[in-house]
Amino acid sequence: MIKIAVYGKGGIGKSTTVSNLSAALADRGVRVMQIGCDPKADSTALLRGPEPMKTVLDLVRERKNDFALADMVRIGYGGTVCCEAGGPSPGTGCAGRGIIAALEKLSEKGAFEEYRPDVVFYDVLGDVVCGGFTMPMRPGYAEKVFVVTSGENMSIHAAANIAVAVEGFRNRGYADFAGLILNRRNVKNEDEKVEELARDIHSAVIGSLSRSDTVLEAEELGKTVIEAFPESGMAGEYRRLAEAVMRAAGGTL
């Protein structure tokens, strides 16, 4: 089992990227689990359809511990196992602490033993790197961290902060930084700026994605590009990125 945490600034296209990676791997026969670690609880929407699902923290609030593992997940495209950590009620609690509680509950309920995924993606908001948001990096969870970024200054700033956090935890047995994913916004000198960031953090850009209306068209249909437009150029980009992520994470296809 390969466990991967994908971070990135809010709005950078991280969840869309992760969902398309999950779909691309599922098409190759890989058993994938995707865990959304964002209070918005929309990480897996493109994989499982528009019907709302209970987050782990919803279940804990409403039913304490009186629920089964099956209540926490939904099976999506290609058999992907979808789960959303959720967040606290608006105006109360800490979203980071919510991630901790949700991931601990998944482990307690035996999620990995039951579904036996080959690959687990933790889709994590990267604007804030507090204790809770570093939970997926901790021993027993993700082994590799990737960051989705564009060439926009705020996105690069968030990516650099995440890289600093990973480096700071290196001696604790936390996840390793495995590389950057460039999700282009077509800003000036974008490739050069992201390559410079990669050098500064002693890492590499392991793959890139074009800015494409195909992605928006698929999202309007509530689907991944892989499902909605499997023969498109963007679907090919996501498939190549999935192969690159697996190589960088030490896996094979």
Name the residues annotated as catalytic: 9, 14, 40, 127
Identify whether the C-beta of residue 30 lies closer than 8 Å to the C-beta of residue 116: no
Q: Are strands 74-75 and 2-8 parallel, antiparallel or unpaired?
A: unpaired
Q: Are strands 81-84 and 32-37 parallel, antiparallel or unpaired?
A: parallel
Find, among 42, 234, 211, 239, the residue nearest to 225 by Cα: 234
Identify whether the C-beta of residue 33 lies closer than 8 Å to the C-beta of residue 80: yes
Q: How far apart are CA 248 and CA 37, in angstroms?
A: 22
Whose tokens are 């782990």? That residue is 56
Whole-angstrom Cα Rg for the chain: 17
Identify whether the C-beta of residue 105 lies closer than 8 Å to the C-beta of residue 56: yes
Identify whether the C-beta of residue 53 lies closer than 8 Å to the C-beta of residue 83: no
